[in-house]
Amino acid sequence: MTSNLDDLQGLGFVLYRSSARPGLDGAAMQDILRTARQRNQLLGLTGCLHHEDGLFFQWLEGPADSLRLVLSSLLNDERHLEFEILDQGALDHRRFQDWRMRFSDRDRASLMDWFARSDSSTVHRSDYAGGVVAFMMGIDI
Ligand SMILES: Cc1cc2nc3c(=O)[nH]c(=O)nc-3n(C[C@H](O)[C@H](O)[C@H](O)COP(=O)(O)O)c2cc1C
């Protein structure tokens, strides 16, 4: 599934993990979500963001041009560090069609608990990325 976004024309996705800047508070979180939703609306992007134990996991999907634009913003955003792409590539259909950016945190559902309960391996990157997506898609909001 993984491929580079550089040459992609149609619908694509990016899944990444980053760590929240230490001290990032609720107000800053609301600010991130407000900007994200406004801009995603303009750019035709949908997806979800999960925040747990100081980590962000985000799935973004939409036109490849829009993804490239937002990715460059994300890479320069000092509200998170240690940005790491877990998976990216072409997509046949959207997984979060109705969400400009769904948000979840540990109170809603725990990724760490999900991994502890599941058979998914966290050792291999592709299994890890697949587990994160399965968790995200399984959250009932
Ligand atoms: C964890 C996190 C998730 C974000 N998600 C999005 C997003 O989904 N869409 C978006 O446009 N910006 C998102 N942002 C904000 C961008 O990094 C950036 O601040 C914003 O798009 C404005 O871009 P600009 O500063 O290049 O003008 C996110 C920021 C953080 C820290």
pLDDT band at residue 86 under the 50/70/90 scheme: very high
Inter-axis angle of helices 64-76 and 26-43, to 10 degrees?
A: 150
Ligand 1 proximity of 35 Cβ (cutoff 6 Å): yes
Residue located nearest, by CA, to atom 17 of ligand 1:
74
Mean pLDDT lowest for which of 6-10, 44-48, 90-94, 108-112?
6-10
- Average pLDDT of every residue of the chain: 94
Contact yes or no for 70/60 (Cβ under 8 A): yes
Contact yes or no for 55/135 (Cβ under 8 A): no
Q: How far is the CA of 130 from the centre of ligand 1 (A)?
A: 24
Query: Tokens 């540990």 belong to which residue?
Result: 106
pLDDT tens for residues 60-73?
Answer: 999 999 999 999 99
Evaluate if residue 122 carries a pLDDT over 90.
Answer: no
Ligand 1 proximity of 80 Cβ (cutoff 6 Å): yes
Query: What mean pLDDT do residues 13-33 have?
Result: 97
Q: How far is the CA of 36 from the centre of ligand 1 (A)?
A: 5
Q: Distance between CA atoms of 57 and 52, rounded to whole angstroms?
A: 8
Residue 101 CA, closest ligand 1 atom number: 8
CATH number (1.10.630.10, 3.40.50.10860, 3.30.70.100, 3.40.190.80) of 11-138 reads 3.30.70.100
Ligand 1 proximity of 70 Cβ (cutoff 6 Å): yes
Residues above pLDDT 90, as percent of the chain: 84
Ligand 1 proximity of 49 Cβ (cutoff 6 Å): yes
Evaluate if residue 2 carries a pLDDT over 60.
Answer: no
Q: What is the pLDDT of residue 125?
A: 81
Contact yes or no for 95/61 (Cβ under 8 A): yes
Residue closest to 50 by CA, chosen among 7, 9, 20: 20
Evaluate if residue 42 carries a pLDDT over 90.
Answer: yes
Q: What is the pLDDT of residue 123?
A: 76
Domain coordinates in residue numbering, the chain:
11-138
Evaluate if residue 3 carries a pLDDT over 70.
Answer: no
